[in-house]
Amino acid sequence: MMEHYFFNFNFMGFYDITNIKNKVNLLTELDWLKYTERQDVFEAHRQTLCIPVLFDINYLNKMGEKTDYYNLFQDEIQSIKQYVNKQKNKNGQIIRFEIVKMPAKTKIPTHKDNTPSLVEHSRIHLPIQTAEQVFLK
């Protein structure tokens, strides 16, 4: 029997992804292959590629470490933080920031996250490029 997980997704509006998309488009194939720790550690993410910007492989309740990509995306992190705080009427922090690429015709298998911050804190998924056939359940 397949186990089902139920989440409470909240639509937060439309965010202008132009600047972040332009910066993502600057990344090379070597950039996408530089860090494989996330894919190596988590079976569910084996088919993805990741650019870690603020990264903590243990997903603890702490600020992730700034990687080589932090300076490139620093302004976008601040802009997204301001947007989310305005939408949620809060003064939260972004403690992790990862850009993930899923090659066409791949999927992330159903799984349950159980690391401390993924269970206790909000996550935001911001599609940079997608298709109508792609969905998050």
pLDDT in tens, the chain (137 residues): 444 455 566 778 889 999 999 999 999 999 999 998 888 888 777 888 899 999 988 878 888 999 999 999 999 999 999 999 998 888 988 999 999 888 777 777 676 777 777 667 777 778 787 777 766 65
Q: What is the pLDDT of residue 1?
A: 41
Long-range contacts at 51-58 (CB < 8 A, ≥ 24 apart): 51/24, 51/27, 51/98, 51/99, 51/100, 51/101, 52/98, 53/77, 53/97, 53/98, 53/99, 54/94, 54/95, 54/96, 54/97, 54/98, 55/96, 55/98, 56/95, 56/96, 56/117, 58/115
Domain of residue 45, residue span: 18-120
4 lies in some domain: no
136 lies in some domain: no
129 lies in some domain: no
The pTM score is 0.80
| Domains contained in the chain, number | 1
134 lies in some domain: no
